[in-house]
Amino acid sequence: MKLVPGISFNLAESAQKVAGYVSMAEKEGFRGLALLTDSQLIWRDVYVCFTLALQKTSKIRVGTGVTNPVTRDPTVTAGVIATLDELAPGRVVLGMGVGDSAVHTLYRPPASLKELREAALTIRALIGGREVDSDGKKIRLPWSKKHVPIYIASTGPASLRLAGEVGDGVIVNVGAHPDLIGWALEHLEEGTRRTGRSLKDLDIWVRATCFPHEDVAKATAVVKGSAATKANGLARYAKNESFRRRLSKELLKDIDDLAAHYNYYEHEKREAKHTDFVTERIVKDLVIAGPPEYCRSRIKEIVEKTGLNQISFATYGFADIPGFIKKFMSEVAPTL
């Protein structure tokens, strides 16, 4: 089973630079999804970057990685995604979640799973040219009659089941631990069964951070921001018994300690103060960092143990993204 590499970017740099990174990734051989984050108070606007990225590429699919129904009204999202699909038919993906840094930096609660479900179904219907109910009145998007795939980004059991129920695809956000990915697949499959589907009906992507470098200490320093973000995201599920069985007590304690100090205004930053609480265990189990041969072995382990070969590699906090793209595709990906 050959690796299908995708890539994920935050938008900490200008839209022109981000679009250039997507273009470079396509040229170097990333042939999966290019996912762009949506967090309006700490990064650039996702849809400006999205538009430029589509214009600079011709094959790679581009998606939100991810937006949410709290800061983006579903009707607005439907209109912009349908418009983008006109710009590059068949290359647009809508990634959705309940909201993370985009809502926490506003000090608002994330969307409920009910709200996420309703938003996804509303957007799908509007893009498809169907009427939907809005406060007792019918609304529609009269110029759009198409299907743009909706991917649900999921970490916890309930959101994974929701992704299995309503998603065209899913972005599995549990890190690089094969056992955790296996745990996620169990909940995804439960969700698919609720609607008479199976995992084969889903386009499943694992999102993981991998940084190849011969110097382990340097590689670890680069991924600390991503490792912290992953640990913080997992902390809210630490009381789930099926989750706890997958991780050691020591790692669970590390995750809880980090989450208690997490600052969303330093989300994904390698120099964030909360990275002081990133332990060796967090790095070892939740991200991949080290020499190319070590990275290859970890990726191979994920593919062999989970049966999933589509991985979107996050570049969050990387100082030299072009360098990563070239090194990954020349020294890690070829033998996979």
pTM for this model (two decimals): 0.93
Q: Report the pLDDT value the prediction gives residue 238, as an integer from 0 to 100.
A: 66
Taking residues 324-330, report their average pLDDT: 98
Confidence band of 246 (pLDDT split at 50, 70, 90): confident
Q: Letter for the amino acid at 27?
A: K
Taking residues 51-79, report their average pLDDT: 98
Taking residues 62-89, report their average pLDDT: 98
Q: Does the pLDDT at position 248 exceed 90? A: no
Q: Report the pLDDT value the prediction gives residue 93, as an integer from 0 to 100.
A: 98
Q: Report the pLDDT value the prediction gives residue 209, as an integer from 0 to 100.
A: 96
Q: Report the pLDDT value the prediction gives residue 288, as an integer from 0 to 100.
A: 97
User: How far is residue 193 CA from its own chain's centroid?
Assistant: 24
CATH superfamily of this structure's domain 4-214+289-332: Luciferase-like domain (3.20.20.30)
Q: Report the pLDDT value the prediction gives residue 268, as an integer from 0 to 100.
A: 81
Q: Comparing 37-46, 230-239, 301-310, which segment has the lowest mean pLDDT?
A: 230-239
Taking residues 187-210, report their average pLDDT: 97
Confidence band of 243 (pLDDT split at 50, 70, 90): confident
Confidence band of 240 (pLDDT split at 50, 70, 90): confident
Confidence band of 241 (pLDDT split at 50, 70, 90): confident
32 near 61, Cβ under 8 Å?
yes
Q: Which of 201, 198, 266, 200 is nearest to 228 (CA)?
A: 266
Taking residues 174-199, report their average pLDDT: 95
Average pLDDT, the chain: 95
What are the residue boundaries of the structural domains of the chain, listed by start? Answer: 4-214+289-332
Q: What is the 3-state secondary structure (H, E, C) of 186-240?
A: HHHHHHHHHCCCCHHHCEEEEEEEEEECCCHHHHHHHHHHHHHHHHHHHHCCCCC
Q: Report the pLDDT value the prediction gives residue 76, as an integer from 0 to 100.
A: 98
Confidence band of 242 (pLDDT split at 50, 70, 90): confident
Q: Report the pLDDT value the prediction gives residue 43, as an integer from 0 to 100.
A: 96
Q: Which of 330, 223, 236 is nearest to 278 (CA)?
A: 223
Q: Does the pLDDT at position 271 exceed 90? A: no
Q: Does the pLDDT at position 189 exceed 70? A: yes
Q: Comparing 26-30, 50-54, 201-205, 229-233, which segment has the lowest mean pLDDT?
A: 229-233
Q: Residue 260: which residues within 8 A CB-CB, separation 6 or more?
A: none
Taking residues 152-171, report their average pLDDT: 96
Q: Which residue has the higher pLDDT, 80 or 235?
A: 80
